[in-house]
Amino acid sequence: MRSNRTAAGFGIAATAMLLAVLGFALLQGGVMFAGAATNTITGTVNVPLTCALDISNTAISFGTVLPGSSAPTTNVIVLSDTIGNTNANAVVYGVDWTGSPSGTMGVSNTLWAKTSGGPGTALGYTTGVDTGIVVPTGASTNDIYFGLNVPAGQTAAVYTQTITLEVTC
């Protein structure tokens, strides 16, 4: 009678069964052997252009200005962008002055300039005007200066105005 045993003592049927299980495991993606496998993953991210505006202060005092007189464009606001990744362009606009106890003064009486004492440009209403002033990123700064013309005959009062500074990237 013939023996169904191999030299290692396993039967031929058992050896075939073991090979079938190993083959099925390999087909199913199982790892049945020692060794190294390498896979790669590709990541993507979109980092958009960003710009911001930091200003040195939020108040300007022109002091006392007589009717028919001017305050020169020497009141400085320092502009910087410490968090953006691209330079920005400063945009400026405002609203009319409101007096207390009464009175108004037009927005265009406020002047802005790129240089201290420079010729001022009249401030406009709520449509921003690109000043041409670049607000750099990082530690660098740039300045915008404000002045004021008080019309002759202006009503005596303490006036306030809101000036808005924005940036575009």
pLDDT digits (tens, 9 = 90+) for 51-92: 889 999 889 999 999 999 999 999 999 999 988 999 999 999
- Give residue 140's pLDDT: 87
Q: Which residue from 122, 169, 112, 120 is spatially nearest to 144, judged by alpha carbons?
A: 112
- Give residue 69's pLDDT: 95
What's the Cα-to-Cα distance from 48 to each of 21, 85, 86, 167, 169, rounded to whole Å?
53, 9, 10, 16, 11
- Give residue 109's pLDDT: 97
Interacting residues of 25 by C-beta distance below 8 A, sequence separation 6+: 32
- Give residue 85's pLDDT: 92
Which residues, listed in sequence order, are joined to residue 65 by a DSSP beta bridge?
none
Model confidence, pTM: 0.72
- Give residue 127's pLDDT: 76
- Give residue 6's pLDDT: 44
Q: Which residue from 78, 74, 57 is spatially nearest to 65, judged by alpha carbons?
A: 74
Length, in residues, of the chain: 169
Residue 1 has pLDDT above 80, yes or no: no
Interacting residues of 117 by C-beta distance below 8 A, sequence separation 6+: 72, 73, 74, 145
- Give residue 139's pLDDT: 83
Residue 33 has pLDDT above 80, yes or no: no
Residue 29 has pLDDT above 80, yes or no: no
SS3 call for 66: coil
Residue 30 has pLDDT above 60, yes or no: no
- Give residue 24's pLDDT: 47
- Give residue 32's pLDDT: 52
What's the Cα-to-Cα distance from 81 to each of 46, 49, 68, 164, rounded to whole Å?
21, 13, 37, 16
Which domains does the chain possess? 54-168 (2.60.40)
SS3 call for 107: helix
List, for residues 116-164, the tens digit of each pLDDT value: 998 899 999 877 788 999 998 888 899 999 999 999 999 999 999 999 9
